[in-house]
Amino acid sequence: MVPPDPQTDVSQLRFAVIFTPRPSRKRYPAGCVEIFETEAQALAAADPANNHHAARVVGPSKSSEGQYIYYLMAWLQGGVTDS
């Protein structure tokens, strides 16, 4: 994981909703992550029944494969638990 850079907006701690049928992963492609300004907005947009889970993430980072990814820091309240 690329640590957050205090001088830029790259790789920052963010609130998000992640679309994933497998919530046991630790990193997710940017195409599966929707960023929100606040935790409350992410929680309101979550729909766990349809695999949209609220989370705290760090990113984006560029993977060695050239994809932009986000790293899962924690699932938010009411979200999934690690399985």
The DSSP annotation for 6-32 comes to TTSSTTEEEEEEEE-S-TT-SEEEGGG
The pLDDT tens digits for 3-25 are 555 555 667 899 999 999 988 89
Q: What is the CA 79 to chain-centroid distance, rounded? A: 12
Q: Percent of the chain beyond pLDDT 90? A: 63
Range name among 8-12, 50-54, 60-64 with the lowest pLDDT average: 8-12
Residue 53 one-letter amino acid: H
Beta-carbon count within 10 A of 20 CB? 18
The pTM of this model reads: 0.81
